[in-house]
Amino acid sequence: MKKIIISPSILSADFAILGEECAAMEKAGADELHIDVMDGHFVPNISYGAPIMKCLRKVNKMFFDTHLMISEPLRYIEDFVKGGADRITFHLECDNDPMEVIEKIRSFGVLPAIAIKPGTPYEKVVPYLPFIDMVLVMTVEPGFGGQSFMADMMPKVEALRKIIDTENLGVKIQVDGGIDKNTIKTAADAGADIFVAGSALFKQEDYIKAVSELRAAAE
């Protein structure tokens, strides 16, 4: 059985008690923490930045999976490295040269990853696969939590899985947006291995139950 990675999106957490929320998610068996950064420019919403992450890093030792929905990632990579990022995902649609961003992230010993929006064809990310740790196929339009899963993104996941496996690249595939206990199976069957979920985890009463139900549904 392949390893299923559950990455709760803290965008849906209660920010007033963020540390406790993340500790509870860790205790519930989540594998990583997904940190959504929005600049109000690349996406029509503002979330939080590196200072919040840095505070969280002091009280939490989990793997920080950082998702930068920002126009100029190059300018802020160092801030997020200092904030404690373990992986930094930037958007292929950003204003910087992807190869330059990848190299900058790697220069700090952090794992680089590329995200593609629903309108971006998977072919565009293929040239970068040998240089990244993970590709994120967005299953909603980035910017907000709580949107519906776009099942029509699954052909992109399938195509990338095929290339990654055929060429033995070892790149992970992440899906983000509308993942819940019903949709996670669809994404897992298509070949995803890292599953981001905000509402389906942080908006639930019982985190232990929520994490284990998601994992069971994916397996």
User: Which residue carries 């949709």 as its tokens?
Assistant: 183
CA 38 to chain centre: 13
Catalytic-role residue among 31, 65, 176, 180: 176
Residue 158 CB-half CA count within 13 A:
8
Segment near ligand DX5 (CB under 6 A); pick from 18-26, 117-125, 144-152, 206-214: 144-152
29 or 103, CB closer to ligand DX5?
A: 29
Dihedral over Cα of 198, 200, 203, 209: its sign: negative
Give me the 47-76 binding string for ligand DX5, x by CB under 6 A, dash otherwise.
--------------------x---------
Buried b or exposed e, range 179-193, using 16+ CB within 10 angstroms: bbeebbebbbebbbb
Q: Is 176 in the site for Zn ion (CB under 5 A)?
A: yes
127 or 146, CB closer to ligand DX5?
A: 146
176 or 193, CB closer to Zn ion?
A: 176
Segment near ligand DX5 (CB under 6 A); pick from 24-32, 92-100, 177-185, 211-219: 177-185
The verdict on whether 176 is a catalytic residue reads yes
Closest CA relative to residue 8, chosen from 42, 28, 16, 116:
28
Active site members: 36, 176
